[in-house]
Copies of this chain bind each other. A is one copy, B any other.
Amino acid sequence: MRFFEDIQVGQRRELESFTFTADRIRKFAGQFDPQRFHLDEEEAKKSLFGGLAASGWHVGSVCMKLLVADGQRQAEQAAARGEKIAIWGPSPGFRELRWIKPVLAGDTISFFSEVESLRTSSTRPEWGILQARNTGTNQRGELVFSMLATAFVPRRNSSSGGAS
């Protein structure tokens, strides 16, 4: 992960892709969103989705997982270069969480994260505040998922948030 000073508006990172298999869709739905169109293929065909569809919370949680994995990869690369590692703070929220198209069984979603804005915090001078647009695109190039995330990012010369 990077420090606030290393980040510019417009920077875009490609995260990993993820295939939403029918098994994964049903497993998540069974735990957190047991609606018929997330659990049963025959019922799902009759729904507005037209087929077994992933829970939106599943799509969002997978995006979160890939964001964290990307951050950890960046931290490992920084460590390998002998650099100080930035440890990001928690997110106060997400806005404009949108499920634009269904994610159906077998779809492979490519996730991206693009920096939309950066500002410093007056109440917490050790942290900067970043807004990023995180999106998912299916194998046909259609945008299926979008959310605007806010995160606390440590500043390079702060005492907290860094690890050697």
Binding site for B on A (CB under 8 A): 31-37, 47-49, 53, 55-57, 60-62, 64-65, 68, 72, 87-100, 102, 147, 152
Contacts and interface: CB of A to CB of B under 8 A. Distances in A.
A23 B40 CA distance: 29
A34 B65 CA distance: 7
Count of chain copies = 2
B53 A32 contact: no
A93 B87 contact: no
B89 A98 contact: no
B94 A32 contact: no
Contact of A56 (B55, B94, B99, B102): B94
A68 B33 contact: yes
B95 A99 contact: no
A100 to B, nearest CB: 8
B96 A95 contact: yes
Contacts of A35: 68, 88, 90
A114 to B, nearest CB: 19
A29 B48 CA distance: 31
B65 A33 contact: yes
Q: Which of A31, A56, A102 has the most CB atoms of chain B within a 10 A radius of its CB?
A: A56
A50 to B, nearest CB: 11
A117 to B, nearest CB: 18
A72 B34 CA distance: 10
Nearest to A98: B93
Nearest to A91: B56
Contact of A89 (B48, B55, B60, B89): B48
